[in-house]
Amino acid sequence: MAEAVVTLKKGEGRSLKAGGLWIYDNEIDTIMGSFTNGDIVVVHDFDGYVMGRGFINQNSKIRIRMLTRNPQQLIDDAFLARRIQAAWDYRKTTVDTSSCRVIFGEADFLPGLVIDKYEDVLVVESLALGMDRLKEKMIALLKECLVADGIVIRGVYERSDAKVRLKEGLPRVKGYIGEPFDTTIEIVENGVHYMVDVENGQKTGFFLDQKYNRLAMQRICAGKRVLDCFTHMGTFALNAGIAGATEVTGLDISEYAIQQAQQNAILNHLEDRVHFRCANVLDELPRLAALGESYDVVILDPPAFTKSREATKNAIKGYREINMKGMKLVKNGGYLATCSCSHFMTQELLAKTIKEAAKATHKRLRQVEFRTQSPDHPILWAADESYYLKFYIFQVVDEK
C-alpha cells in the first residue's frame, strides 16, 4: 500500500530543516492518502521537495516524528538494526556500558524510545505510538546486537508509565516483556554498589544521567563534611562517602528513597559515615542554618521544578530559593554543586538565577566547572529537547 504524503505549509519545518526530528500539527498543510496512526508517511516541503519519512499520530501535537531524511529508505529490520548498532557502538566508545542508557530517543534517531541497561536487564520506555508498535522488534534486535559482544539479557521490564503517553493517545503501562524475573538488580557505578528496583524506582529505576557528575564530586568531597539534598537513593552521598568524606548527610522527602539509600550505604560498608534522613529539604535547610550548622560541600539535585514553558517563572523562584538556602550552609571556601534537570530551565536562565541567589546571600562564586548529562544521554544539536541537565560546581566565598 502506498504511503500517505504529508505536505508542510510554506515557511514551516524550520526545526526539521535545522536537524530536528519533530513536525507539529500546525506546520502541516495537507495529508494525501490513507493511513492509520502510527504508520510511516512521506514528508514533502511546500514546494514538493521530499524531506524524508517518519511516523504520524493525529492524537499528538507532535504530529510526525522523523526516522530518516532519505525518502528511499525502507523502515525495515535492517534499518532498525543499523540504528541500534550505531547507538551501542557509540556507548562502547564514550561510557562505561555495564549500566547505561543504550537508546535515548531522538538523540539516537529512534524517536520516542528509551532503553536502559542495568547489567543483564533491559528497561524499556516507549513514549510515541509509532515506536510503541515497534518496541518488541527493537528489543529483539538489541538483544542480538548485545549477544554479539557476549552480553546475554536475562530479562526485560517495561516502564511506559509516564503521563506524556496520554498525549499520544496511549495508556500508561508497566510490566514484564517476556518471562518474569527478579526486578532488583545490583549495579556498580564509579566504584559504588547500588540495588536498583526497576519495577518501583523512579523513571526506569535509577538516574544514569548523573554518572560522571557524581564521579566529579568524589574529588571535591574527600576529607569533607557533606550535605546531599534530594538524595533519592543516596547516589551523590555514597560517592562522597566512598571518596573519603568524613561525614555525609543525605536528605529526601521520600521514605522509600531513604530506605533504599540506607540499604545502599550498608551495601558499601559506609553506614558509619553516610547517614540519611527523611525531610522536606526546603524546610530542613533553614532549620539547619538556624542551628548554626555548616558544611564543606552542599549538593543540590532537585527534581525538575518545571515540565512546561508556562511554569518556568515559578520554577525560577524555586531554583533561586533552594540555591539561597543551600549557599547559606556552605562554609567560607567550601563548595556548592547545583543543578537543574528541566529542559525549560536553560543554562543561561539557571546561571542568572544562581547569580541572583549568590547576590541575595552575599556570597561570591568561583566556578569550578560546568557539566551536562552523561554521554549515554547525548545532546543532539537542533533537537533542543535532548538537552536538559545542567550541573555547576562552585567554590563559595563570603563577601569579606
SS3 79: helix
The span from the CA of 397 to the CA of 389, in Å, is 25
Per the CB < 8 A criterion, the answer to whether 42 and 53 are in contact is yes
Q: Please tell me what DSSP assigns to residue 49.
A: -
DSSP state string for 256-312 = HHHHHHHHHHHHTT-TTTEEEEE--HHHHHHHHHHTT--EEEEEE-PPPS-SSSTTH
Q: Which grid coordinates are listed for 161? A: 508509565
221 included as an active-site residue? no
Sign of CA dihedral 263, 265, 267, 269: negative
The string of DSSP codes covering 333-362 is EEEEEEEE--TTS-HHHHHHHHHHHHHHTT
**Burial annotation 166-197 (CB, 10 A radius, 16+ → b, else e):** eebebeeeeeeeeeeeebebebebbebebbbb
What count of other Cβ atoms lies within 10 Å of the Cβ of residue 15? Answer: 16
Q: What is the DSSP string of 101-126?
A: EEEEGGGGT-TTEEEEEETTEEEEEE
Give the integer Cα–Cα distance in Å for 140 and 132: 14
Contacts of 96 (CB under 8 A, 6+ apart): 189, 211
**Rg (Cα) of the chain, in Å, rounded?**
23
Out of 145, 229, 339, 341, the active site residue is 341
* 3 state DSSP class of 141: helix
What CA–CA distance (Å, rounded) separates 368 from 224?
17
List 160's β-bridge partners, or say none. Answer: 173
Q: Just list the catalytic residues.
A: 341
